């Protein structure tokens, strides 16, 4: 992330570009765009220091709508472009926008590599569990049995759990949120911005054209309290309707998860798990929670770890300490030479 | 000292042995010594695809050929005068190339039945008369070496390891070389007691040759009359890397290399990773696609961006290269060609990637292409590639090959003042008002290079067709045609920077046209043919796209033109389509460079 | 009924509206109805790259053009006679194409100021006289539709959705079409009450046209005199898929498709995934590389293996394709071309991947290339591609494009008995003794296809150069040259299966040479030019590599030849290099097919 | 895996091909080759039903040395070839051989996708933590700070933990072993053969040329007992020299691992973890154990999960139940047709 060179104050609209937005009406992408613009405005980073990089997909049209530097690249490769850009220009605040297909299908390899390297960028994955731009084939996050144009009898591939993939690749920051959970979404984007290293955020995003309602179980206002747990470092894992009795999560000896009914949020007791965002084992557990357990939202995992770009800069700095560093004469005329007159 | 010292012009020497026998090192030492003795030289190592193929087998033979001379020379030589064969496999693999009457030094200690079997010799070639016509020098290299290092208390294996220095010592005696370069090097390189052992073996080899009067005479190869200057022996990979580093310095911008290891291109990554003091960033990516994409990202970010690879990697980079074409960002893609298709012959040389360089992308997606002619030429070509990429804002494909990358020759070091600065002409805040990323220089058609971080120049680019000027996404039919033509036209504009070709030799006889690493063999063949009285000219192309403006006219001037290349006729096809001229196609596709003799035969056919 | 019924030969009709307006569906209904009424026809849909681009904007306009006739026709027509424009954006995007004097039906309900603004109209085109010279039919489509479905209690949005059927009803009246096909279809497709709503809207449109006497007359387009047979209207994607399914059946082997979705190739995956009852396996891979690699794995495993994609995917598949070339496995790579370079114009058509098809791999890595001419021709070309791949054991590149894939025409269904079985000639246990995987058929040079699971034929293949016969890894220089020549020779052997070209029209006047989807426009233009008395011939190439044996001679027969293609001259360059003949290059690169009128102009220039 | 059509008995040498083995003397690959040949001989599967697929790298020369069907493909893509082959020919026993670079660098995406799909093959990854064939650059499993030809100042990339990557990708079988632990190696290969689905085996393999001794801490006979724990389903996690006092592993409330000294193997007590190979959380913990904890060897994770190839076959079978299945006349002559006479 960039150093703040001058005091800058922006409004959200400063980050809105002059390009017409071409997503379908009702697409979840609009809400995410709006929150990203809001967060950018508040970061105090000069506008010209932002670069937004994307791959290909509906979601990847994102850079066109941001009044910053932007690069709509090719399918699946955005992490590599972002890495090169960040290494070339460590001063930039680099954001990467991608879809579930872009980053987990064709781009899966670059995705896991940027995470392990921990290049200091923000990586927002819009997961709509479908290929939007190519008109509705199943994606690597589609549930088994999904009938789509390419799977008339239902898909057979076991889906990835994106946060688990990220954890398996040793991501240093893993979070999950939802397009329409506006406040939570904004908060998580802000957290991502604040983290040094690759900040991975999975955003459940509704594609109302090809996969409408894919996240109804977590977004439905009626049941949401029962199906979602918002995790926060140091706080007990409690969920359930604010009105009714609250519930908590605990594990048994062999790490099997259990829901504890009727938990007093003020005094949840010893057995209820407390979220520790630095614990990879817990993070794995949370990332994979699915009904009948609540789906975890928020920052699931966050640790400090050296960044790749930081290391590169450091090595160069060290190398440049030597006498005659960067001296072309030395480079060319050094070594075994002889003179012919 | 031998009683007899003969003076000769040129010698071709080949060291051959197991991959573990240290032949590359031995050859390099002989090279450095000869360089400092003022000879012109040219070298070519040839190693197997395996890291350590099974010891003693033909597949495991590693060779190093060295041509040194008191004249100007341009190739590692066709046929060796002297072959050092450390075992039967090395003998078997190389004896066919030895000049008639040439000398072969063999290590008799390695001719046991088992050794012969591993080399798949039915009978002992030292005994069955098959080496008749050669001067065979039989030496118990292992035994002698062992004896020479006895006092150091090494074990068998360790002392046997020194035998390449024993052999080197013998050849040093044979060609009257000064041993001090190698002695100094040994002292710096090896820890005790191995430094002592190698020094002793070296000296013992020399002494052995001297006292045993093994050879009829020793030879003197006087210094060559090279152009005055400071010289250094350099491989193509190193010259290329230095050229890139220099380009970064001259452009006053960070050099960025995105690469994934692949034979024979990895050395560019290895060399550049050592230039961190120049601020050079080398990124070993997860694959070739990530490598080029990171480089394009770095180019967007204002770096002098390079990506280096070989054939299979070039095939993978095609899609991303198209993005660099449509976004008009500067980039240099280096292709160190190897034998294809597919995995092919990874350690062998070939020129069969001209097609993919010119036509290997989907859509109408042109990019400039240039090629290096010799190891040291790689330096200049690297500079030129960067200069054009930056000036015209486009990806440039630079072709070298395994022969150039690993081969070496003396390089007359450039005066630093002679290197022209590279003007990056980067867009600044001042033009923020009304800034449009696809506005162009009317002469070069280059668009703005507006680097993220620059105030007021925020803009978005991408792979969808862009409207000229604004750079916005455009589906307009007319704009697409305009942009397609414009991208083609940009290549043509580069002709302004491409010097006309000059014919070497005769302009109206047989004309040989070549490109890339065949320069040396073709030039040597042309010289030889002309010496025989034939009327021959030579045109060597550095630029393949665009082609030099006067090329058509030049070819038309020849009575008969032939295109010589190490593939099945790719340049020939391309020139045919450009000029509709009937030319001969002279090809070889054996993973090996042309021999001058082969080319002379072709010239005769055309004469 | 209108008092007046005129008979016309041909009509070109274009429906245009927002992406959400159902124009593709409307066009398809008109097409099916006309097909069953016996017209010859040709259609071409044209949609934006966005799924639902912002409503009301020019970027969001989706169009469907339909040419129906009582004569034989070959293109969707140059300029529409009738344009249905559902909003100002549709009007703006399409009015330029309308024939002078043509009719435009507009939905006046969508001409509010906001609507005009979205379409970036400064003033209302219905009022400023800009439509002079056209017959403008203003209809309050939305209001009328709403009224017609009033009784069903739909909400505003729902009833507005039916307006395309209202428009369809009007055009059905205009061209005296039988509505029953569409009525039956509506009943099967929509649930209550939407079925009723659409039926009512359709009828209301018809009635409205009938009673309001909006049109001077209605038109009759009699049935065409087509070759006797059973017909079905078919898109190129569907014909291609059926061809592949048929090929699997004829070869009596499993059909395997490895694919990754990409516009405009995805439909091949969609269609083939519905043929599981034929045992067809479709594998939606993680990317294009995995798709082709899985296909090669399946080919090794004995399947008829296919991989389908478009430009960017082809670029990614190059490395793996090289492996199929060197391992000599049968494979068909289908490239449904789109506008390039890079992401380019994904929903537009182009022929700019001929270069990459012929020359897009590293090393000397040839593969056969063929292209389909019309939507229904895709069936035959698919069969032919599989047949050649299997017969010669090599990957074949099959080119179609967005225009063919999405365009449709009546297809005269083949007699099943006329389809020749495909002999896979698979190696059996019987030859286990002395079996060598690279032993060849002396005629075709095809090697064995020995499928894992077959006893005694265990063998290993790979991407390193192989020794002929044994298939073992070989670094032998001579073998590499032999194998390189052999792979090239295999392509030439295919000429035995490639029929000579026949000139349509005059053999000694102006000759137009074309390939791929331009067939229809070129043939139409040639007919028109000949009707005007010009001396013109047409050669259309199905096979690009190898080229037909008599092509050179045929071209030489023309007084002047021109190569017509939708790129910057790729076939022209290729034929120039092959034959050294000076030909004209006729190109267009606007994401759109040639208009016959454009080609007639070019013919005149050459005459 | 193949059905055993006829009773077949083989000797190891039946699986040795006539090709000269070209690995460096001393390379760990030899031992693995030998054990694979031994296991093949004992599987009772006809020889012609084996196919060995590899990518590119030293390790990937493997198929040439096996007297079975084999395919030495291209770099990183072996999982895709194997998938295609298995789908085309479900009857085969398909084995995939790969290196750490081949499968985790260029091939990372295909690697995670074959695992999630659970195609029924065996995937043996020879991890020597280096690129062997290209002469010694660091690989995605090389430790940080590794000095190689391409990293003269030391590598900066945080390494992958292969088993963790596999678990993140929802592998159904994850095991680890060592080239020179011959018996253990053979056992794990056998387990892999017995598992339906993608059996992932990481094999620590010594590259004595470019990364000699990379696994000394686990292979050294003197310390091995202290640095390695062999895990077995249902058995407590106990390690330590057979002679000295044994040690056990347990976790605290927040899943932090602890070593318990002086454990009685006969009666380890309640707190010592018992290996449950079906527990993904435990598997993650085990996969990531590094000194001062012992490195886990054996089958770390194994669950039954539908295979992709099984599903494909099933769908085809179902589709073929319909009348006129596979009838070309129906396919071509069906739909809206009309007749012109
Ligand atoms: C190399 C390549 N292959 C395929 C495509 C086609 N394609 C474009 S976007 C996409 C998938 C989009 O899915 P996702 O990443 O989930 O994005 P969404 O549209 O759902 O936001 C595909 C397959 C392409 N553009 N390039
Ligand atoms: C497309 C492509 N890129 C690069 C290479 C060069 N290459 C061959 S093997 C290899 C890495 C080998 O490492 P690993 O997979 O760990 O195998 P090992 O040799 O260590 O067994 C590389 C980079 C290649 N053959 N093809
Ligand atoms: S197709 Fe889906 S993801 Fe794409 S823009 Fe439309 S609603 Fe959004
Ligand atoms: S380089 Fe290493 S991995 Fe490769 S064969 Fe030699 S010892 Fe084995
Ligand atoms: Mg998606
Ligand atoms: Mg390795």
Residues of chain A positioned with their CB less than 8 A from the CB of C60? 22
Mean pLDDT of A115-144: 98
Mean pLDDT of C268-283: 98
Domain for residue B486, yes or no? no
Domain for residue C447, yes or no? no
Domain for residue B553, yes or no? yes
CB atoms under 10 Å from CB of B349, counted, come to 27
- Report CA(B49)–ligand 4 centroid distance (Å): 12
3-class secondary-structure state, position C151: helix
- In short, whether C261's Cβ falls inside 6 Å of ligand 1 is yes
Task: Return the domain boundaries, chain D.
Answer: 12-235+275-308, 237-274
Domain for residue C59, yes or no? yes
Mean pLDDT of C98-119: 94
- Average the pLDDT over each of B49-63, C246-260, C422-436, D26-40 and give the range with the smallest value: B49-63
B189 Cβ under 8 Å from any chain D Cβ: no
- In short, whether A207's Cβ falls inside 6 Å of ligand 3 is yes
Average pLDDT value for chain D: 95
The interface predicted TM-score of the complex, written ipTM, equals: 0.96
Task: Band the pLDDT of B397: cuts 50, 70, 90.
Answer: very high
Whether B307 and B182 map to the same domain: the answer is no
3-class secondary-structure state, position B101: coil
Quick check: bond before C495 cis, omega within 30?
Answer: no
Identify the residue whose tokens are 């929802």. D170
Whether B69 and B214 map to the same domain: the answer is yes
Task: Band the pLDDT of B484: cuts 50, 70, 90.
Answer: very high
Domain for residue C462, yes or no? no
Give the CATH number, domain containing residue B535.
3.40.50.920
Question: What is the pLDDT, as a whole number, of residue B3?
Answer: 60
C568·B312 Cβ contact <8 A? no
CB atoms under 10 Å from CB of A12, counted, come to 15
Whether C272 and C205 map to the same domain: the answer is no
Report field, pTM of the whole predicted structure over 0.90: yes
Whether C264 and C325 map to the same domain: the answer is yes
Q: Which of D119, B541, D26 is nearest to C301 (CA)?
A: D119
Q: Whose CA is nearest to atom 10 of ligand 2?
A: D57
Q: Is A57 left (phi over 0), alpha (psi -120 to 50) or beta?
A: left
Helix axes C236-251, C377-392, angle to 10 degrees: 40
Q: How many CA atoms lie within 13 A of D101 on its CB side?
A: 27
User: Is the separation of the CB atoms in B390 and B304 below 8 Å?
Assistant: yes
Q: What angle do CA A255, A256, A258 make, to 5 degrees?
A: 125
Would you say residue C3 has pLDDT above 70?
Answer: no
Question: What is the pLDDT, as a whole number, of residue A185?
Answer: 98
Domain for residue C490, yes or no? no
Q: Which of C174, C195, C220 is the last residue of a domain?
A: C220
Mean pLDDT of B503-531: 97
The proportion of chain A whose per-residue pLDDT surpasses 90, expressed as a percent, equals 90
| Sequence-separated (6 or more) residues with CB below 8 Å from residue D187 | D177, D298
Residues of chain D positioned with their CB less than 8 A from the CB of B53? 22
Q: What is the β-pairing status of strands C536-541 and C510-515?
A: parallel
Whether B185 and B81 map to the same domain: the answer is yes
Size of interface C-D (CB pairs under 8 A): 209
Domain range holding B413? Answer: 232-418
Identify the residue whose tokens are 């019987």. C430
- Report CA(C460)–ligand 2 centroid distance (Å): 19
Could you read off the pLDDT of C298-313 as tens digits, one per residue? 999 999 999 999 999 9
User: Is the separation of the CB atoms in B583 and B576 below 8 Å?
Assistant: yes
Would you say residue D7 has pLDDT above 80?
Answer: no
Would you say residue D4 has pLDDT above 60?
Answer: no
Q: Which residue, among D105, D109, D251, would best test binding to A if mutated, counting the most A CBs under 10 Å from its CB?
A: D109
**Residue C444 φ/ψ, nearest 5 degrees:** -90, -15
- Average the pLDDT over each of C44-48, C104-108, C302-306 and give the range with the smallest value: C44-48
Residues of chain A positioned with their CB less than 8 A from the CB of D151? none
Burial (CB count within 10 angstroms: exposed 0-12, middle 13-18, buried 19+), residue C435: middle
Spatial separation of the C-alpha atoms in residues D77 and C319, rounded to whole Å:
11
Whether C240 and C267 map to the same domain: the answer is yes
Domain for residue B491, yes or no? no
Q: Which ligand is nearest to the CA of A105?
A: 1
Mean pLDDT of C111-119: 94
Task: Band the pLDDT of B49: cuts 50, 70, 90.
Answer: confident
Chain B nearest C-alpha distance from D266 (Å): 47
Could you read off the pLDDT of B83-96 as tens digits, one per residue? 999 999 999 999 99
User: Is the separation of the CB atoms in A97 and A124 below 8 Å?
Assistant: yes
A12-235+275-308 maps to which CATH number?
A: 3.40.50.970
CB atoms under 10 Å from CB of B444, counted, come to 18
> Which of the residue ranges A103-112, B143-152, D245-254 has the most confident prediction, judged by mean pLDDT?
A103-112
Question: What is the pLDDT, as a whole number, of residue C540?
Answer: 98
Give the CATH number, domain containing residue B140.
3.40.920.10
Beta bridge partners of B107: B139
Q: Which of B385, B418, B451 is the last residue of a domain?
A: B418
- Return the best residue to mutate from A104, A134, A138, A149 for the ligand 1 pocket (most ligand atoms within 8 A of CB): A134
- Average the pLDDT over each of B280-284, C577-581, D289-293 and give the range with the smallest value: D289-293
- Average the pLDDT over each of A3-7, A267-271, D18-22 and give the range with the smallest value: A3-7
Chain C nearest C-alpha distance from B468 (Å): 14
Whether C343 and C410 map to the same domain: the answer is yes
Question: What is the pLDDT, as a whole number, of residue D6?
Answer: 56
Q: Which of B370, B390, B418 is the last residue of a domain?
A: B418
Give the CATH number, domain containing residue B315.
3.40.50.970
Average pLDDT value for chain C: 95
Residue A258 CA: distances (Å) to CA of A251, A255, A289:
6, 9, 11
Question: What is the pLDDT, as a whole number, of residue B46?
Answer: 85
User: Is the separation of the CB atoms in C148 and C160 below 8 Å?
Assistant: no
Spatial separation of the C-alpha atoms in residues C183 and C179, rounded to whole Å:
6
Which atom number of ligand 4 is nearest to the Cα of residue D136?
1
Would you say residue B2 has pLDDT above 80?
Answer: no
Helix (H) or strand (E) holding B321: helix B311-327
Question: What is the pLDDT, as a whole number, of residue C46?
Answer: 85
D335 Cβ under 8 Å from any chain B Cβ: no
Mean pLDDT of C279-304: 98
Tally the domains of chain B: 3
Whether C341 and C294 map to the same domain: the answer is yes
Would you say residue B78 has pLDDT above 70?
Answer: yes
Domain for residue B426, yes or no? no
- Report CA(C7)–ligand 4 centroid distance (Å): 81
Whether B185 and B251 map to the same domain: the answer is no
User: Is the separation of the CB atoms in C341 and B361 below 8 Å?
Assistant: yes
Whether C212 and C247 map to the same domain: the answer is no
3-class secondary-structure state, position D294: coil
Nearest residue on chain C to A154, alpha-carbon basis: C273
Question: What is the pLDDT, as a whole number, of residue A2?
Answer: 45
User: Is the separation of the CB atoms in A162 and A134 below 8 Å?
Assistant: no
A331 Cβ under 8 Å from any chain B Cβ: yes
Find the distance separating the first CA and the last CA of chain B, reported in whole Å. 48
Q: What angle do CA A202, A208, A214 make, to 5 degrees?
A: 55
Spatial separation of the C-alpha atoms in residues A75 and B175, rounded to whole Å:
60
- Report CA(D139)–ligand 6 centroid distance (Å): 7
Q: Which of D85, A69, D339 is nearest to C37 (CA)?
A: D339
Question: What is the pLDDT, as a whole number, of residue C504?
Answer: 98
- Report CA(B320)–ligand 5 centroid distance (Å): 22
Whether B525 and B589 map to the same domain: the answer is yes
Beta bridge partners of B511: B537, B561
What is the arrangement of strands in the sheet containing D238-239, beginning at the earlier edge strand?
D238-239, D246-251, D257-263
**Residue C364 φ/ψ, nearest 5 degrees:** -80, 105
Record the tokens describing residue D228, joined without a space. Answer: 């390695």
Whether B167 and B274 map to the same domain: the answer is no
User: Is the separation of the CB atoms in D115 and D86 below 8 Å?
Assistant: no
How many residues are recorded in chain D?
Answer: 341
């Amino acid at each position: 992330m960039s150093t703040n060179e001058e005091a800058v104050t922006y409004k959200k609209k400063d980050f809105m570009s002059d390009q017409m937005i071409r997503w379908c009406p009702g697409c979840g992408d609009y809400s995410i765009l709006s929150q990203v613009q809001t967060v950018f405005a508040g970061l105090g980073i000069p506008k010209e220091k932002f670069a937004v990089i994307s791959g290909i997909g509906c979601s990847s049209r994102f850079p066109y709508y941001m009044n910053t530097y932007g690069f709509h690249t090719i399918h699946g490769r955005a992490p590599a472009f972002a890495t090169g850009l960040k290494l070339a220009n460590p001063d930039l605040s680099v954001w990467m926008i991608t879809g579930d297909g872009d980053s987990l299908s064709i781009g899966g390899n670059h995705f896991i590599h940027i995470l392990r390297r921990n290049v200091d960028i923000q990586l927002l994955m819009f997961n709509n569990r479908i290929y939007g731009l190519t008109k509705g084939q199943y994606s690597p996050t589609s549930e088994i049995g999904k009938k789509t144009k390419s799977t008339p009898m239902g898909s057979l591939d076991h889906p990835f759990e994106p946060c688990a993939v990220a954890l398996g690749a040793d991501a240093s920051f893993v979070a999950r949120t939802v397009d329409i959970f506006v406040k939570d979404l904004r908060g998580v984007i802000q957290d991502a911005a604040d983290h040094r290293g690759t900040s991975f955020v999975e955003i459940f995003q509704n594609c109302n054209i090809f996969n409408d309602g894919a996240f109804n179980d977590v977004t439905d206002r009626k049941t949401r309290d029962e199906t979602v747990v918002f995790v926060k470092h140091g706080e007990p894992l409690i969920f359930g309707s604010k009105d009714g009795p609250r519930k908590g999560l605990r594990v048994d000896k062999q790490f099997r998860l259990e829901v504890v009914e009727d938990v007093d949020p003020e005094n949840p007791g010893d057995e209820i798990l407390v979220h520790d965002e630095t614990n990879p084992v817990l993070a794995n557990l949370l990332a994979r929670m699915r009904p009948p357990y609540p789906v975890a939202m928020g920052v699931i995992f966050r640790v400090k770890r050296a960044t790749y770009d930081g290391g590169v800069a450091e090595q160069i700095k060290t190398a440049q300490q030597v006498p005659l560093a960067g001296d072309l004469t030395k480079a060319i005329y050094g070594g075994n030479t002889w003179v012919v007159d | 000292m031998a009683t007899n010292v003969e003076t000769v012009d040129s010698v071709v020497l080949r060291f051959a042995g197991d991959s573990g026998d240290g032949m590359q090192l031995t050859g390099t030492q002989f090279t450095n010594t000869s360089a400092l003795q003022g000879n012109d030289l040219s070298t070519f190592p040839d190693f197997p695809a395996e890291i350590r193929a099974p010891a003693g087998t033909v597949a495991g033979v590693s060779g190093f050929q060295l041509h040194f001379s008191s004249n100007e020379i341009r190739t590692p030589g066709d046929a060796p005068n002297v072959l050092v064969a450390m075992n039967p496999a090395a003998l078997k693999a190389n004896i066919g190339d030895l000049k008639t009457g040439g000398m072969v030094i063999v290590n008799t200690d390695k001719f046991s039945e088992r050794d012969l079997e591993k080399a798949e010799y039915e009978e002992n070639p030292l005994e069955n008369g098959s080496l008749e016509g050669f001067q065979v020098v039989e030496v118990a290299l292992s035994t002698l070496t062992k004896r020479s290092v006895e006092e150091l208390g090494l074990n068998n294996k360790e002392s046997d390891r020194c035998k390449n220095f024993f052999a080197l010592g013998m050849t040093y005696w044979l060609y009257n070389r000064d041993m001090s370069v190698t002695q100094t090097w040994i002292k710096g390189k090896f820890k005790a007691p191995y430094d002592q052992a190698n020094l002793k073996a070296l000296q013992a080899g020399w002494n052995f040759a001297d006292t045993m009067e093994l050879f009829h005479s020793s030879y003197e190869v006087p210094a060559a009359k090279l152009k005055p200057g400071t010289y250094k022996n350099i491989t193509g990979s190193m010259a290329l890397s230095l050229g890139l580093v220099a380009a970064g310095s001259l452009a006053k911008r960070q050099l960025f290399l995105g690469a994934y290891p692949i034979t024979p291109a990895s050395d560019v990554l290895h060399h550049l990773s050592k230039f961190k003091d120049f601020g050079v960033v080398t990124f070993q990516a997860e694959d070739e696609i990530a490598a080029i994409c990171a480089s394009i990202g770095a180019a967007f970010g204002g770096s002098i961006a390079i990506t280096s690879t070989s054939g299979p990697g070039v095939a993978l980079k095609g899609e991303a290269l198209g993005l660099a074409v449509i976004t008009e960002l500067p980039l240099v893609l280096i292709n160190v060609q190897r034998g294809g298709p597919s995995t092919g012959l990874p350690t062998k040389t070939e020129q069969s990637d001209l097609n993919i360089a010119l036509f290997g992308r989907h859509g109408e997606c042109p990019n400039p292409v240039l090629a290096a002619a010799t190891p040291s030429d790689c330096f200049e070509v690297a500079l030129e590639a960067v200069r054009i990429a930056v000036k015209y804002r486009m990806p440039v494909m630079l072709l070298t090959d395994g022969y150039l990358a690993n081969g070496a020759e003396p390089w007359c070091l450039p005066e630093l003042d002679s290197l022209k600065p590279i003007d990056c002409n980067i867009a600044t805040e001042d033009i923020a008002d009304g800034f449009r990323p696809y506005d162009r220089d009317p002469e070069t058609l280059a668009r703005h290079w507006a680097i993220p971080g620059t105030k007021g120049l925020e803009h978005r680019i991408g792979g969808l067709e862009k409207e000229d000027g604004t750079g916005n996404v455009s589906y307009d039919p007319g704009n697409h045609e305009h942009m397609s033509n414009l991208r083609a036209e940009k290549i043509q504009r580069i002709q302004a920077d491409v010097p006309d070709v000059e014919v070497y030799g005769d302009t109206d006889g047989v004309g040989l046209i070549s490109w890339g690493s065949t320069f040396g063999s073709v030039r040597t063949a042309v010289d030889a043919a002309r010496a025989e009285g034939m009327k021959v000219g030579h045109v060597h192309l550095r630029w393949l796209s665009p082609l030099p403006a006067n090329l058509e006219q030049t070819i038309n001037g020849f009575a008969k033109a032939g295109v010589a290349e190490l593939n099945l006729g790719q340049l020939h096809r391309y020139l045919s389509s450009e000029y509709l001229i009937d030319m001969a196609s002279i090809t070889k596709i054996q993973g090996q460079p042309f021999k001058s003799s082969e080319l002379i035969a072709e010239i005769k056919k055309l004469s």
